[in-house]
Amino acid sequence: MPNIGAEGLQKLIKKMIEGAGSDPEEAEQVSANLVKANLMGHDSHGVHLVPRYIENVKNKVLQPNAHITVEKDSGAILQMHGNMGYGQIIGAEAMELGIARAAETGVAIVALRHTHHLGRIGAWGEMCAEAGMVSIHYVNVIGHLPLVSPFGGSEARYGTNPYCTAIPSPNGGKPIVLDMATSKIAMGKVKVAYNRGIEVPEGSLIGPNGAPTRDPGVMFREERGAQLSFGDHKGYGLALIAEILSGALVNGGTCLPENQTKNTIQNNMLTIIIDPDSVGSKSFFMQELGEITDYVKSARPAQGVDQVLVPGDPERISIVNRGRDGIPLDNTTWNELIGSAQTVGISEDAAKNLTEIVGSTPD
Ligand code: NAD
């Protein structure tokens, strides 16, 4: 599998997003967010999404150059409508306002509804952590058929509802970012496995008959299977809470049948942003955070493990490696990108000229 250099890949994606109607600034932000997801090791939330995004623009279920509307501004609470704009733009705008409000009031609750796909939710946690804030994010996903089966069920009822908590670093630069799908694996990872023709890990999927399977194809055939939650009933419980908080409380809509048919990817997100200064002593918080992190990481590694990590570390390691070695892109993903580029007037030769193969990864 060829590894593509991040810089060239971003140039291609930027051109594609611009070709689909975004202004250069929006295209820059969207492409940077997607390529960063690949660099962080989350191919599920990287450039393979671009053909789907462009299709959604064409079908008018994703609005280029849209911005948030603040619908309610009452003390610590900000309710916003994303106008089905690019989540990469809407998410950043919402966090910016939320961070400013938390700096004033100590805490901000940002209820964001009706935005197109917010991508990697960790990006929003990292933004808060960079501003010195703790943030908690609950997200649901509607606008298409449900993907994940409730615990004990044998058919899908909701999406891969991500959950994220980000904690700023005591010494700058290395926040703890727990950012995860509540399904055993993210849907994009099922697609990546399908594209690569490989099996998914055990316990990730059930077939249309409810029996466990490792075949990612069950999520792409007419008679569909379902994904399973991580952690059995516990992951299911967290997914349901995310569905209710972001879909019902935020008023974005839950994954009921009437919200499944729009052929888009709509995220709704409840974010709680806390200024550590407003809770107690920030210096105590930072000192204790540094010490507990070091203590946890000092645990003797298990057999076959190099070192104990904290959430956020794997992504930081991946950025270094993929920044140096390039981003592996399987043939299906590349061909889908090229096909999509052509629909916005970029030829295969032009795409190849923008990008550079800098290495390879064994399939
Ligand atoms: P994952 O399983 O790769 O990682 C989950 C978390 O575990 C991360 O915070 C990671 O840092 C941490 N982690 C991994 N290995 C670790 C280790 N050895 N020690 C300590 N911590 C470790 O992530 P995922 O569940 O596949 O999710 C991938 C991405 O998909 C996330 O960015 C998520 O926000 C995104 N997502 C988005 C949507 C959406 O609708 N926008 C839906 C689902 C998922």
Supply the DSSP string of 291-318, one letter for each residue. HHHHHHHTSPPPTT-S----TTHHHHHH
Cα distances from 191 to residues 27, 185, 330, 361, in angstroms, run: 24, 11, 11, 18
Q: Indicate which residue's Cα is closest to atom 44 of ligand 1.
A: 181
CA 155 to ligand 1 centroid distance, Å: 23
Is residue 276 within 8 Å of 289, Cβ to Cβ? no
- Six-digit token string for 302: 């298990």
Give dist(CA 100, CA 82) in Å, integer. 18
pLDDT for the residue 363: 76
pLDDT for the residue 173: 65
Pairing of strands 107-116, 77-81: parallel
Cα distances from 118 to residues 5, 85, 161, 269, 313, in angstroms, run: 24, 10, 12, 9, 22
Which atom of ligand 1 is nearest to 230's Cα?
Answer: 25
Q: Which amino acid is at 175?
A: P
Q: Is 179 in the pocket of ligand 1 (CB under 6 A)?
A: yes
User: Phi and psi for 258 in degrees, rounded to 5?
Assistant: -70, -15
pLDDT for the residue 276: 95
Which atom of ligand 1 is nearest to 189's Cα?
Answer: 26
pLDDT for the residue 272: 98
Show the beta-strand stretches assigned E in 49-162: 69-74, 77-81, 107-116, 134-142
pLDDT for the residue 120: 98
Q: Is 229 in the pocket of ligand 1 (CB under 6 A)?
A: no
Cα distances from 334 to residues 42, 48, 337, in angstroms, run: 16, 8, 5
Q: Is 168 in the pocket of ligand 1 (CB under 6 A)?
A: no
Q: Is 123 in the pocket of ligand 1 (CB under 6 A)?
A: no
CA 226 to ligand 1 centroid distance, Å: 19
Give dist(CA 336, CA 51) in Å, integer. 7
Q: Indicate which residue's Cα is closest to atom 23 of ligand 1.
A: 180
pLDDT for the residue 186: 87
CA 230 to ligand 1 centroid distance, Å: 11
- pTM for this structure? 0.97
From 120, 179, 184, 307, mutation site for ligand 1 pocket: most ligand atoms within 8 A of C-beta:
179
pLDDT for the residue 98: 98
From 34, 39, 49, 180, mutation site for ligand 1 pocket: most ligand atoms within 8 A of C-beta:
180
Q: Is 42 in the pocket of ligand 1 (CB under 6 A)?
A: yes
Q: Indicate which residue's Cα is closest to atom 15 of ligand 1.
A: 314
CA 239 to ligand 1 centroid distance, Å: 14
pLDDT for the residue 196: 85
Q: What's the average pLDDT block by block, 10 residues per block, for the chain (363 residues)?
A: 96 98 98 98 95 98 98 97 98 98 98 98 98 98 97 97 94 87 92 90 96 96 95 98 98 96 95 96 92 95 97 98 96 94 97 94 84
CA 180 to ligand 1 centroid distance, Å: 3
CA 176 to ligand 1 centroid distance, Å: 12
Give dist(CA 102, CA 166) in Å, integer. 15
CA 30 to ligand 1 centroid distance, Å: 20
Place of tokens 């390529």: 35
Which atom of ligand 1 is nearest to 37's Cα?
Answer: 32
Which atom of ligand 1 is nearest to 185's Cα?
Answer: 26
